[in-house]
Amino acid sequence: MSLVDSEHFPLPRILVVDDSRIVRATIKKHLGIAYDVIEEADGEAGWQRLLDDESIQVLISDLTMPELDGLGLLARVRSAGDGRLYFLPVIIISGEEDDATKQKCVECGATDFITKSTDKTEMLARVAANIQLAAVQQELVIARTEKAQEIARDSTTGVSSSNLLMLQMEQSMAYALRHNSEVTLLLLEIDHYQPLKQKLGERLASQMLSLLAKLLAAKLRREDTLAHVGGPQFAIVAPGTSLSEVRVMADRLRQGVAAARINYRDERLTVTASVAVANSWHDDTHSAPALFNKATTRLYGSIGSDRILMPDENVNRLPVLSLADALLMLHKGQQAEVAPHLPALLTSLQPLLDLANAEYGVDWSLGFLSDKV
């Protein structure tokens, strides 16, 4: 019995697409000793074989073929949106094509060229080198993806990491600055966490944080970002959210933690959390680190547990509320939240009133607002 049992260790598969039976036979003769060579006679058949057979590791294609030529096949392979095909080595049988044709092939994604006169030794070496290069590229992509996930996700809880939190805060702050909107940060900390951790131990404490993370995530909106800052702290970025809305959100999160069923050795543990809120408008804060510092200072500025710590409302620095958002809030019954914005909202209607005055001969005026805006 040979050392390599092809039934258990199948040879790497190569697809040769060429309308010349002689060329296909020559390539198969050169490569058949080390590879499982399969053939198609035109580009369309080759494309279908690539879609159907995920074991193909290299494509060798002629340029001039019926149905679908080599450049068309190459373009389909690289634009398919399939990672397997994107990294698939494609070797063009170049013949006597000029440099412009070769450059076009490179631009379309060809990885190498051989001629119809390339000898066996060189052809084997070219194919082996391309397979190895593709494997290295795929390993690099996997490593980058894993690294990105590691940076973006917290290993203890599975929610966003502090790195992703700061990125999201910076993006939200930049958007709010352009659109005259606001960003709110909620910093939630499990009260008396160290005694809990000592009682539960490292492993069970991590499990508790993971459970609480899932509970918190279920109570947030899709546009909010939940992150595990570290230890007993979670943070939530809530873009475009007013203080009154955030107070409701904070209370919902606080109550959710208090209602969590966490048992330890037949004992139900009492777990509470405190929530500190910072708001870019009311705290007059213009950067992500400054907003985070405001929330941290507020959280540790007093002693207690099971609390919600809000900033003072800065009535002189209300964000501009769009008319569409105001109508939506009124529909939700939030008249009290809209009222402070009423002068600015009515003033924004002045062009519409001017048109109504001109068209209908009415005499609508917003003069009474002169001392309110």
pLDDT in tens, 76-114: 888 877 778 888 999 998 776 677 778 888 888 888 888
pLDDT band at 1, cuts 50/70/90? very low
Residue from 288, 326, 323 nearest 174 by CA: 288
Residues 94 and 189 in one domain: no
In terms of domains, do 224 and 301 share one? yes
**pLDDT class of 370 with cuts at 50, 70, 90:** low
pLDDT at 50 over 70: yes
Of 119, 149, 179, at which residue does a domain stop? 149
Q: Are residues 351 and 308 in the same domain?
A: no
Do 71 and 213 fall into the same domain? no
Domain-embedded: residue 4: no
Are residues 310 and 346 both part of a single domain? no
Is residue 196 domain-resident? Answer: yes
Contacts of 214 (CB under 8 A, 6+ apart): 158
Q: Which residue has the higher pLDDT, 60 or 243?
A: 60
Domain span including residue 76:
13-149
Q: How confident is the model at residue 334 (pLDDT cuts 50, 70, 90)?
A: confident
Task: Give the pLDDT confidence score for residue 115 in this predicted structure.
Answer: 83
Residue 149: predicted pLDDT? 57
**170 and 306 belong to one structural domain:** yes
What share of the chain in percent tops pLDDT 70? 90
Cα 117 to Cα 105: distance, rounded to the nearest angstrom: 19
Q: Over 70: is that where the pLDDT of 371 sits?
A: no
Which pLDDT band, with edges at 50, 70 and 90, does 281 fall under?
confident
Whether 198 and 334 share a structural domain: no
Query: For residues 240 and 236, what is the distance between their CA atoms, to the nearest angstrom?
Result: 13
pLDDT at site 167: 85
- Residue 267 in this model has a pLDDT that exceeds 80: yes
- What pairs with residue 226 in β-bridges? 236
235 burial type by CB count under 10 A (0-12 exposed, 13-18 middle, 19+ buried): buried
Q: What is the CATH number of the domain that holds 48?
A: 3.40.50.2300
Higher pLDDT, 313 or 57: 57
Residue 40 and residue 67 in one domain: yes
Q: Answer yes or no: are the C-beta atoms of 16 and 45 closer than 8 Å.
A: no
Looking up tokens 């199948």 gives: 10
Give Rg (Cα) of the chain.
33
The number of distinct structural domains making up the chain is 3
- What is the three-class DSSP state of 322? coil
Shared domain check, 200 and 280: yes
Is 2 a member of any domain? no
Decide which of 123, 149, 175 is a domain's last residue. 149
Tell the residue number behind the tokens 């697409």, with chain if given. Answer: 17
Contact between 278 and 184 under an 8 Å Cβ cutoff? The reply is: yes
Shared domain check, 137 and 25: yes
Amino acid, single-letter form, for residue 63: L
- 294 CB burial (10 A radius; 0-12, 13-18, 19+): buried
- More confident position, 126 or 235: 235
* 48 plus 132 within the same structural domain: yes
The yes-or-no verdict on residue 287 having pLDDT over 90 is no
Q: Does some domain include residue 246?
A: yes
Do 161 and 227 form a contact (C-beta atoms < 8 A)? yes
| pLDDT for residue 61 | 92
Q: How far apart are CA 89 and CA 93, in angstroms?
A: 13
Compute the mean pLDDT over every residue in the chain, rounded to the nearest whole number.
Answer: 85
Q: Please report, rounded to a whole number, the percentage of residues in the chain having pLDDT higher than 90.
A: 39
Measured distance CA(369)–CA(372) in Å, rounded: 5
Point out which residues pair with 185 in neighbouring strands. 237, 278
In what helix (H) or strand (E) does residue 352 lie, and over which residues does it extend?
helix 350-360
**Residue with more model confidence, 215 or 373:** 215
pLDDT at position 296: 95
Say if residue 252's pLDDT is above 70: yes
Neighbours of 86 (CB within 10 A): 15
If pLDDT is split at 50, 70 and 90, which confidence band does 3 have?
A: very low
Which pLDDT score, from 0 to 100, does residue 6 have?
44
Segment 182-234, tens digit of pLDDT: 899 999 999 999 999 999 999 999 999 999 999 999 999 988 999 999 899 99
Residues 6+ apart with CB under 8 A from 359: none
Which CATH number fits the domain that encloses residue 255?
3.30.70.270
pLDDT greater than 70 at residue 151: no
pLDDT digits (tens, 9 = 90+) for 23-43: 999 999 999 989 999 999 999
Q: In this structure, are 309 and 334 located in the same domain?
A: no
